[in-house]
């Protein structure tokens, strides 16, 4: 009766216990509020910083000439096409997931493919960091710089799909992963007992990473 006297229909009265709908955030707000965005910014900064340091400190022009004379360029063209196609799919996924809690699930994979594509472009069209081993073989150090970021990002994704992996465990595992890659490069650049030592380190460093990956996929 009160509703009728006020000229309102019963449907206009909010139901008891109802809550105000959550505010719909824009894609920009969702990205800025995700950890993936800041991980990508930090990753890009360290990637290009390490690339510059690699070119300045350990790059070997003879190694680059040797690499270009032995490796067909179509290999990198094909790899670039594959990764850029996958990157395009991930970028479209960001639009579809912009209103869900799964935005980091597409931001981090997009970063992985994007960095791999960037590395391919640098290798194909610019001047990548290449070194010579003690045995006279060339090593594409630019790939190792890329792997230092992409493998760490993969470990971040594993944490997202897990139900019990906490951030201290993520950080410890990423540090072991980085040690594995750095020790591998040092092993390639040394010889004798030093090479044996660093080879042993790089193999042992992966041991803590394996249970982490198993745990993440088991809980996914």
Q: Which among 138, 120, 149, 136 has a CA at the least distance from the CA of 59? A: 138
Q: How far apart are CA 139 and CA 58, in angstroms?
A: 11
Confidence of residue 98 (pLDDT cuts 50, 70, 90): low
Of 148 and 74, which is predicted with more confidence? 148
pLDDT (mean) for 20-47: 80
Confidence of residue 24 (pLDDT cuts 50, 70, 90): low
Q: How far apart are CA 127 and CA 121, in angstroms?
A: 10
Q: How far apart are CA 219 and CA 81, in angstroms?
A: 33
**Digit-coded pLDDT (tens) for 46-72:** 999 999 999 999 999 999 999 999 988
Q: 20-29, 126-135, 162-171, 182-191: lowest mean pLDDT where? A: 20-29
CB 173 within 8 A of CB 101: no
pLDDT (mean) for 109-123: 94
Token digits of residue 62: 């003879």
Considering the entire predicted model, what is its pTM?
0.84
**103-125 and 74-96 helices cross at what angle (nearest 10)?**
160
Q: How far apart are CA 40 and CA 45, in angstroms?
A: 9
Predicted confidence (pLDDT) at residue 8 exceeds the cutoff of 50: no
CB 63 within 8 A of CB 132: yes
Q: How far apart are CA 54 and CA 124, in angstroms?
A: 17
**Digit-coded pLDDT (tens) for 156-203:** 999 999 999 999 999 999 999 999 999 999 999 898 999 999 999 999
DSSP letter at 220?
A: -
Torsions phi, psi for 130 (to 5 deg): -125, 140
CB 195 within 8 A of CB 134: yes
Confidence of residue 18 (pLDDT cuts 50, 70, 90): very low
Three-state helix/strand/coil letters over 88-147:
HHHHHHHHHCCCCCCHHHHHHHHHHHHHHHHHHHHHHHCCCCEEECCCCCEEEHHHHHHH
3-state secondary structure of 154: helix
Arithmetic mean of pLDDT over the chain: 86
CB 76 within 8 A of CB 120: yes
Contacts of 172 (CB under 8 A, 6+ apart): 208
Predicted confidence (pLDDT) at residue 19 exceeds the cutoff of 60: no
């Amino acid at each position: 009766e009160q509703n009728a006297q006020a000229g309102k229909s019963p449907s206009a009265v909010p139901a008891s216990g109802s809550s105000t709908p959550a505010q719909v955030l824009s894609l920009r707000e969702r990205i800025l509020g995700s950890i993936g965005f800041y991980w990508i910014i930090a990753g890009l900064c360290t990637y290009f910083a390490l690339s510059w340091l690699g070119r300045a400190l350990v790059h070997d022009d003879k190694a680059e000439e040797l690499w270009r004379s032995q490796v067909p360029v179509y290999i990198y063209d094909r790899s670039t096409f594959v990764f850029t196609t996958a990157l395009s799919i991930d970028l479209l996924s960001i639009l579809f997931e912009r209103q869900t809690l799964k935005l980091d699930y597409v931001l981090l994979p997009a970063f992985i493919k994007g960095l791999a594509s960037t590395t391919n472009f640098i290798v194909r069209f610019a001047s990548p960091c290449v070194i010579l081993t003690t045995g006279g073989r060339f090593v594409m150090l630019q790939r190792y710089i890329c792997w230092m970021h992409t493998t760490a990002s993969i470990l971040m994704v594993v944490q997202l799909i897990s139900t019990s992996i906490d951030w201290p465990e993520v950080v410890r595992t990423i540090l072991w992963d980085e040690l594995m890659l750095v020790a591998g490069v040092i092993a390639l650049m040394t010889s004798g007992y030093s090479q044996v030592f660093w080879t042993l380190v790089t193999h042992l460093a992966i041991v803590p990473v394996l249970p982490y990956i198993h745990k993440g996929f088991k809980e996914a």
